[in-house]
Amino acid sequence: MKNKLLTKLFLLPIFLMVGTVAMAQITVTGTVSDATGPVPGVNIIVKGTTNGAQSDFDGNYTLNDVASDATLVFSYLGYVTQEIAVNGQTTINVTMSDDIQALDQVVLIGYGSTTVRDATGSVASVTAKDFNQGVISSPEQLIQGKTAGVQITETSGEPGAGINFNIRGSNSIRSGNNPLFVIDGVPLSGGGAPAAGVGTIGGGQARNPLAFLNPNDIESISILKDASATAIYGSRGANGVVIIQTKGGRGNSEGVWELSSSISSSGVRNSYDLLDRGQYLQALEDFGNNPDALDFGFNNDFQQAILRTSTSTRNDVSYSKSYKGGNFRASFGYSNQFGVIKNSDQERIAGRLNAQHKFFDNKLTVSLQSSISRVNDQGAPISAQAGSTGDLIGSAITANPTWPLSETFDPGSNLLNPVNLLANYQSNSKTNRFLANLSLNYDFTDELSAKVTGGYDLSDGETVSVFGPGVAGLNQVSGVGDGIYNTNENENTLLEATLRYEKDLGNVNLDVLGGYSYQKFDRNGINSGGRGFRTGTLDDLQDQLVGTFEAADAAIQGGYQQFGYDANGGFVARFDPNAETPFEFDNTIPTFRRTIRAYYATVFDNFDELQSFFARANVNINDKYLFTGTFRADGSTLFGEDNKYGLFPSGAFAWNIHNEDFVGESVSTLKLRVGAGAVGNSEGLAFGQALLRTGLVGIGFNGDGTLTPAGTRFVGNSNPELQWESTIDYNVGFDFGFNNDRFNGTLNVYRRETDNLILTSQLAAPQQPGIVNITKNLEDGTVVNQGIEVGLNYNFVDTDDWSFDASFNIGYNQNEVEDTNQVIDAGPINGNGLTGAFAQRVQAGQPLFSYYVAEFTGFDADGFPTYRDVNGDGVGDPDSDKTFVGKSALPDITSGLSLSARYKNFSLSTFFNAQAGFYVYNATDNAFFTAGGITIGKNVTQAAITSGEDGAASTAVSDRFLEKGDFVRLQNATFSYDWPLEEDSIFSSLRLSVTGQNLFLITGYSGLDPEVSSNTGTINASAIPTRGIDYAPFPRPRTVTFGLNARF
Amino acid sequence: MMKKLKMNRLLPYFLGAVVMTFAVSCTDLEVEETDSVNTVGFEGILDPPSFIDGLYGSLNGQVGDQANLFAISEVTTDEFLIPTRGSDWGDNGIWRQLHQHNWLTDHAFITNTWNQWNQTHFAAAQLLSPLTTLTAEQSGDAYFLRALGMWVILDNYGQVPVRDPEASLLEDPAVIRGEEAVAQIISDLEAAISNLPAGGPGATNDRGTKAAARYLLAKVLLNKHVYLGTAPDGGDMSRVISLVDDISGEGYGLQAGYFDIFREGEDVETIWYLPTAVGNRIWNGLHYNMAPEIAGGGWNGFSTLSEFYDLFEGDSEINVPGSGQEERRGFVPTEGVAFTGDAGTTESGDFPGFEAGSNVGFGFLINQQYEIDGTPLNERGGNPLTFKRDFRDGDGNVSLINNDETTGIRVMKYNPRYGGFTGHEIFFRYADAHLMKAEAMMRSGGDATTMVNELRILRGATPLGSVSEQQMLDERGRELYAEFWRRNDMVRFGQFTRDWELKDPSAVGDTNLNLFPIPASQIILNPNLTQNPGY
């Protein structure tokens, strides 16, 4: 290999010289520019040869030895590739135009790029010009609804809320259906950002894992959907891969400042129709209560008391410049987004520097993409896992309207006063994140290149969350106060080396890539909590929490893994793996200033490693027949001893039918793609599940504020056979384009079968003490997703004054669980009298997230609910007569429609999003808005008191609360105006815009919004995630944004 | 030439960088012990003292909880039921099914109890593995806890899965039943008695002692004939008697002042208590409006049947102080008591001069309940808070659902005036041992009347002329209500399958219900288990 290579190196110049002598040629010169000026770095190649040049700093180029009848090809990423016949000209000036051809769009695939036209797999890319506008708190919102078969749902309207990001349905029966995110070549660690629980109220929602990225820094987002594209990511590719590329400084030879600024106003689109004072007192009377005993004399709307109209701002500035041999872009952004519920906001400060420079005659390319950001979150006491007492929202929508709007009012009877709750809770998270990627690419020859990449991603976060002693009605917390202080440092290190060989053999083009990748995910931090505060503001209490940890940390000599103290004393637990007794317990703790009555802290520190070998070969025959084969071997510490490495092959074939002679000129694109592959999913595998680990018993508070005893135990039931979940995926696709792709589209049909399903489920008893579950791969069971996706684009009008484009996508996905005897209850429903209640079940023959509930058959003459008798015992009982009702929370159809029109400097773009064929469980109604609510003195909706239900009626889960969720939403409408500029203006462009988001919603759903996913927790070992459950969620706001974008 | 030179000079560097990447990063994928000790298989318990602490600690939750073992031992009997009140306590039907005896094989409490107590005996088996080094006393704890875990499983499910600690967790556990299981439990308890420390009555008997092991052995022997399906064995009965005598020989005995036994502090009746908060026993029946001052308070669920309440002496229509009831039925105070500063009590913040929580009664709460200053309390709808004997829905029909907040008599053994988080929940008590001895005498042809009357006189109840089986069961109910034993007693006396109010008629007489089903998920997981008949 090496010999051959060297031979070629020596021979290359000789060939060139021979060529010069052999033929009579001309020299062509010229300037390459675009709308803003000269473009350096454009590749100019004499078609069909290796003879080429690049435009210099001023856009000039010189190309020697060009046959007078040759054709020059001008290409540059982001511009339309142009072919110009020389026809004897010696000067050819070219104006490059932005790449508007959808099918020539560059798509990043793992460890390289291709174009939609050359791709063999099912890949899509959305670039900045097509991104959604408005308040975009994180990158995935930029492409929401833009691609067929991709469903992106924020779990709530909270700033920084987590996301469900599903590409072609859900493969896993447990959590872990989000794709792999790769940012500038660095794959992120799996899972969402950790959720911060809300004290004793319940667990929180997972946070958005991409919130640290400034959406304005993103150039493109590529989505790899099928296995032939994702197999290069092996054990992490099964849910698809989303590759995010940030902006560089290419094409800006003059240096461009860009300033964008926006201000937004958000409010709720709708709210619950609650009873006011008069209606409430009347309803109490009607339902046999004693209104006098419950009348506190006021008339307040507690729903409005926690809501607000919020104003958010975003400001970004960037400078980018390209120069001979390199380019760079630096940006700084600041955004501050306020939620429509008080005390919820997210602030982001983000800086980025991307630079690229070529050395040694462009042989060595050094690229750096780096970002540093700080995200500050503030959260309100909201949890979809709240039980009978509810959370901030639950208490607000059920609060007695005659209560005073007082922060100190205590309603008693286990009830929460939302105003008091809001005033006595404070939760803040701060996360610093540094993500950088440095790569060196060296072209040994035109054919052989190598690249070494180092990636580093450090996320350093802390959360401090307190309930002050003044909070009323919270068991164990009222009068005492309770708080947590957690830190979490995640360090993700990547080292990668790839070797690439490209060879043009005339009719055959060969592109072969091989590589090695090593990635390490380090985690460490503390979980600590305190109970029993001295007085102070909530800020003081937060300081006391952190201060107590710091004081203890300083006072304790040597390392420790856990410490704690309460009224009865204190202890320090130490760990040394090499000692005779690895765990040591001191039954005392050194003295330090104690501002909190009881406190504990536990340290964690562990890591996972992933080591991979991969290869890909692309063969292109005559631009007609394209073959791709990929292979990856992934070894991971997450896998068991017996299954250290997984192998993931894939292959694809594409036929460019339009390049065949029998296809007419009007057909600009016609391509058939066929691909298949095996990919894996290892999300859901956590540290050390394959090993028998002895660790410290988790620590916490007893009801009286003392600590539970410390001790050691087995941390889990170990499974040495554990491995990845495997998906076999088949995809057949057609790409077509007519009239120079003015009308183009794509059609894909796919089927994916996932088995080896990872499931945490009960181990056969007896199990390790305190731990019922084992994580294992199911021996049986397959999840099948199959579907069709269609994407269509049509450019109706395109003149200097007018243009009108439409882009439509629709995806149909069918999901089913097959061949397993597992029956797993899922979809917990929380609230009063609903402990252990659930609405969904996983079972063979049904889609995931299928509803399994009693069938409500109306109220009897007395107003008591009746249910269909399913088990034939003569009684319709809501709990023993559950059945599958043929409805699922997964949409059959997801669709998006973008319309954009331009008249001179005015443009209008609208984006509609629709989903159909899914059902929402209205757990808000189930838990709060029944006649039983008014009987116990809680406020309800108008509908609850007019349903004919008796006030003593028991409430159970049934299809009474199950509703069709189909909707069409005007997600986004942007009207913008490009300010006409004088030639000598300091601006090169100036654009003003107004954007509306979530402007209207067409749906038959009776709750606030059918696009919802409350994380109501888990009801059994399997921890099946929740979908389609509406439990008093953080409302999705309606937002209007005024924006300004200037370049100069 | 320049080009080539540069390239050649650079090439080694570049290849070097590639090689470095491999050298630095190539890994054998071994997990380091950064915050835990990691092994592929079981290598013995690393630190027995802290492991035993953790094991006793886990019993706190298993016993302190109102769900799981407590629920399947009490709510399945005539002692407790939890009607669904409006939207409260529906909880997926879980409480109603227990009382109606129509539980399904995936009932959460039946599953949890199975898992929890199997874990207890497995953890103890890990301690007893030859790979673990134990002191004699530690092995006494391990034998005691293994026997306890296995006995709870045998008593409720009739078969016990056992795992070899050294085998892979993916192997199917073997299952022992009947004679084999009983023999295993008895031999463990004998080993426990010889290895555990002697410990008389005291404030610290919250761990296994000789007395606790003897008590449990007596309990196993008294029930042995049930597990084997035979008649009671005379030898077992005399051994019960001698075991109780041994316990008494250590200083345990009956103690006057019934409700004071359920307070923190020393008494001669408590053989084994768990340092777990007693709040669950208090809050589960108390109305929301009854304990505003006591953090944790009032979940308004657990109630008793009037037929059980009527077992006690006294006018069934009234239970205020001094209405002729026996001590164990307790009373409903019409107002709170003056604050005395008595140990474990606090002064009311809202009503200075009164003892916090002293408006909440002892024993059985019926009729109007009062605020500490004597004001009649209201329920959440603003109507008077009067606990009713019957469970009727809005139309007056007897029903387990569609009840309002006031149906059912409430049971209060641990009183909130002594704190909701007091870590003192009694599991083994001498009065039970005393009645076990009496029963053993009765079952071996003797007369238990004197022994039963000894207890009754102490409790202020009229002595009985003679003690029949029925009276023995009733006496156990009156003495030991809400202490985990009702199901076990009713099964042994053949009454668990009799009819009672709001039981599913089709369940009456079904002796298969004397055992709970093996949880549905577990039957699939372990082919060595066989589902109990009738499920």
More confident residue, A471 or A1021: A471
Contact at CB, B40 and A692, closer than 8 angstroms: yes
Q: Is the pLDDT of residue A109 over 90?
A: no
Number of domains chain B is built from: 2
CA distance, residue A772 to nearest chain B CA (Å): 7
Q: What is the pLDDT of residue A119?
A: 86
B398 SS3 class? strand
- Chain A with chain B: Cβ pairs closer than 8 A: 343
Strands A989-1003 and A1037-1047: antiparallel
Q: What is the pLDDT of residue A11?
A: 42
User: CB-based contact (8 Å) between A606 and chain B?
Assistant: yes
Point out the residue among B37, B119, B168 whose CB comes nearest to the CB of A766. Answer: B119
pLDDT digits (tens, 9 = 90+) for A200-228: 677 766 778 888 899 889 999 999 999 88
Point out the residue among A495, A717, A936 whose CB comes nearest to the CB of B381. Answer: A936
Last residue of a domain, one of B373, B405, B420: B420
Contact at CB, B53 and A711, closer than 8 angstroms: yes
Chain B residue with CA closest to A777: the answer is B170
B240 and B315 belong to one structural domain: no
pLDDT digits (tens, 9 = 90+) for A645-684: 999 999 999 999 998 988 888 888 899 999 999 999 988 7
Residue B32 lies in a domain: no
CA distance, residue B306 to nearest chain A CA (Å): 22
Domain CATH number, residue B186: 1.25.40.390
B139 and B209 belong to one structural domain: yes
Contact at CB, B87 and A930, closer than 8 angstroms: yes
SS3 readout for B444-460? CCCCCHHHHHHHHHHCC
Test the A interface: residue of B87, B146, B170 with most A CBs within 10 Å: B87
Confidence of residue A883 (pLDDT cuts 50, 70, 90): very high
Average pLDDT per block of 10 residues along chain B, 535 residues long: 48 64 68 83 87 89 93 97 87 90 92 96 96 96 98 98 92 96 98 94 89 98 97 96 97 96 92 91 90 71 96 92 93 92 84 90 96 92 93 86 92 90 92 98 95 96 95 97 97 96 93 96 93 95
B414 and B348 belong to one structural domain: yes
More confident residue, A641 or B480: B480
Q: What is the pLDDT of residue B39?
A: 83
What single letter denotes the amino acid at residue A519? Q
Cβ count near A23 (within 10 Å): 9
User: CB-based contact (8 Å) between B55 and chain A?
Assistant: yes
User: CB-based contact (8 Å) between A361 and chain B?
Assistant: yes
User: CB-based contact (8 Å) between A665 and chain B?
Assistant: no
CA distance, residue B416 to nearest chain A CA (Å): 13
Chain B residue with CA closest to A11: the answer is B4
B106 and B217 belong to one structural domain: yes
Q: What is the pLDDT of residue A565?
A: 95
Q: Is the pLDDT of residue A18 over 60?
A: no
Residue B140 lies in a domain: yes
Q: Is the pLDDT of residue A114 over 80?
A: yes
Residue B386 lies in a domain: yes
Contact at CB, B96 and A879, closer than 8 angstroms: yes
Q: What is the pLDDT of residue A233?
A: 93
B195 and B338 belong to one structural domain: no
Contact at CB, A450 and B173, closer than 8 angstroms: no
Looking up tokens 């200037």 gives A1046
Cβ under 8 Å to A: B residues 387-406: 393-395, 401-405
pLDDT digits (tens, 9 = 90+) for A920-940: 999 999 999 999 889 888 999
Indicate if the alpha-carbon torsion angle A279, A282, A288, A294 is positive or negative: positive
- Residue A576 to residue B535: CA distance in whole angstroms: 50
DSSP A744: E
B205 and B99 belong to one structural domain: yes
Q: What is the pLDDT of residue A746?
A: 93
CA distance, residue A621 to nearest chain B CA (Å): 32
B292 and B371 belong to one structural domain: yes
A1016 SS3 class? coil
User: CB-based contact (8 Å) between B349 and chain A?
Assistant: no
Contact at CB, A763 and B6, closer than 8 angstroms: no
Point out the residue among B4, B29, B172 whose CB comes nearest to the CB of A637. Answer: B29
DSSP A1008: S
Question: Which residues fall within 8 angstroms of residue B135, CB to CB, at 6 or more apart?
Answer: B48
User: CB-based contact (8 Å) between A930 and chain B?
Assistant: yes
Contact A256, A321 (CB under 8 A): yes
Q: Which residues of B touch A775 (CB under 8 A)?
A: none
pLDDT digits (tens, 9 = 90+) for A317-335: 999 998 888 899 999 999 9
Question: Which residues fall within 8 angstroms of residue A506, CB to CB, at 6 or more apart?
Answer: none
Last residue of a domain, one of B420, B444, B468: B420
B198 and B68 belong to one structural domain: yes
How much of chain A, in percent, has pLDDT values that exceed 90?
55
Looking up tokens 């796919």 gives A750
β-strand partners of A258: A318, A1047
pTM of the model: 0.86
B120 and B65 belong to one structural domain: yes
User: CB-based contact (8 Å) between B174 and chain A?
Assistant: no
Contact at CB, B39 and A692, closer than 8 angstroms: yes
Indicate if the alpha-carbon torsion angle A87, A88, A93, A96 is positive or negative: positive
Question: Which strand (E) or helix (H) includes residue A996?
Answer: strand A989-1003
Q: Which residues of A touch B96 (CB under 8 A)?
A: 879
Point out the residue among B14, B47, B54 whose CB comes nearest to the CB of A442. Answer: B14
Contact at CB, B37 and A605, closer than 8 angstroms: no
DSSP B31-96: PP-SSSEEESS----S-HHHHHHHHHHHHHHHHH-SSHHHHHHHTTSTT-B---BTTBT-GGGHHH
B202 and B320 belong to one structural domain: no
Contact at CB, B402 and A952, closer than 8 angstroms: yes
Q: Which residues of B touch A289 (CB under 8 A)?
A: 381-383
Point out the residue among A606, A717, A878 whose CB comes nearest to the CB of B34. Answer: A606
Contact at CB, A761 and B33, closer than 8 angstroms: no
Chain A residue with CA closest to B301: the answer is A833
Beta strand residue intervals within B83-188, DSSP E? 159-162, 174-177
Question: Which residues fall within 8 angstroms of residue A974, CB to CB, at 6 or more apart?
Answer: A133, A134, A907, A908, A909, A910, A993, A994, A995, A996
B300 and B225 belong to one structural domain: no
CA distance, residue B458 to nearest chain A CA (Å): 34
B213 and B287 belong to one structural domain: no
Point out the residue among A583, A607, A936 whose CB comes nearest to the CB of B46. Answer: A583
User: CB-based contact (8 Å) between A636 and chain B?
Assistant: yes
Task: Give the structural domain span for B318.
Answer: 279-420
Residue B531 lies in a domain: no
How far from each other are the two terminal CA atoms of chain B, in whole angstroms? 89
Chain A residue with CA closest to B126: the answer is A768
